[in-house]
Amino acid sequence: MNDSLPSLTLPAGKIGPFALGGREGKFVLVAGPCVIESLDHCAKIAEFAKGVCGKLGINFIFKASFDKANRSSLDSYRGPGMEKGLEILAEIKKRLNVPVLSDIHLPDQADPAARVLDVIQIPAFLARQTDLLAAAAKTGRTVNVKKAQFMAGWEMENVVEKLKAGGAREIVLTERGNFFGYNRWIADVRNIEWMHQLGVPVLMDATHSAAEPGGAGKSSGGDRAMGPLLARAGVAAGADGLFLEIHDHPEKALSDKATVLPVTWLERLLTQCLDIFHAVRI
């Protein structure tokens, strides 16, 4: 019997301009509203989060979707669309000097998105779409793939192989929960270690993991209070950073209002997670 404590698998890589992962990697926060609501709103959220991250010594990437193509209802707000959305993200990048991330849903969105984005994200429900992965990989940008809700962490090996075959140089995976009956996710943080064993850095998406998909009938429900708990648990399991959706008025958010975190929670939560992050890397 080996009496030594098992070590976490902590592969190193990059996300946009930042080193990520390994035992020396710096914590990263990917955060912003679920969907682009306006330029002014994005700028407000990005400026606030950048300030908190600067104070704590955390690398920050702003995220917001230009099109939520998987909304529960046809009546739900999807966003401004790709053209206008990328204009807004380009302005945020220029104005605040922060890297930006957004998701794509179709292969022909990859090239125009790559002209603005530092990180291209593949939504969980599209994680196995070969043509989409190949198009994202070809851009040369970091590709972050949300682990599909119907896949185990180790099954993401095929996703990583597709991206590498397409020429992706920097790959990140993100844990965001699995289906667990109707309108329920369960977040199994063992997936973080299993995906690390594929040789890539891993983020913890704590806000989507707290959701109840379709739980509000025409929109997703969820339990906002579980977001911080899942964030801390994910970092304890070895996550190299967090993916969080944040808002200045969560109850008025145009998407995922049940789970987005108030910006006023951000500094305390990140302070707690930083302590955990450093502790598990000793």
- Has residue 7 been placed in a domain? no
Question: Could you tell me if 195 and 156 are in contact, meaning their C-beta atoms sit under 8 angstroms apart?
Answer: yes
pLDDT in tens, 110-135: 999 999 999 999 999 999 999 999 99
If one compares 198 and 214, the residue with the highest pLDDT of the two is 198
DSSP 33-46: -SB---HHHHHHHH
What is the C-alpha separation between 196 and 133, in angstroms, rounded?
Answer: 19
Residue 182 in domain: yes
Q: Specify if 19 maps to a domain.
A: no
- Say which DSSP state 79 is in: -
> Residues 44-88: pLDDT tens digits?
999 999 999 999 999 999 999 999 877 566 767 888 999 999 999
The most distant pair of C-alpha atoms in the chain lies apart, rounded to whole Å, by: 59
Distance CA 238, CA 189 (A): 9
* Rg of the Cα atoms in the chain: 17
The overall average pLDDT reported for the chain is: 94
- Tell me the CATH number at 45: 3.20.20.70
Give φ, ψ of 79 to 5 degrees: 120, 180
pLDDT of residue 4: 86
Terminal Cα distance for the chain, rounded: 23
Is residue 10 situated within a structural domain? no
Domain for residue 16, yes or no? no
Total count of domains within the chain:
1
CA distance 197 to 216: 36
Domain membership flag for residue 12? no
- List, for residues 90-115, the tens digit of each pLDDT value: 999 999 999 999 999 999 999 999 99
Q: Does 3 fall in a domain?
A: no
Instruction: Tell whether 260 is covered by a domain.
Output: yes
Per the structure, the complete domain to which residue 113 belongs is given by 24-279
In the prediction, which pLDDT does 215 show? 58
Separation CA 127–CA 140 (nearest Å): 18
- The DSSP secondary structure of 135-157, one letter per residue, reads HHHHT-SEEEEEPPTT--GGGGH
Q: How far is CA 244 from the centre of its chain?
A: 7
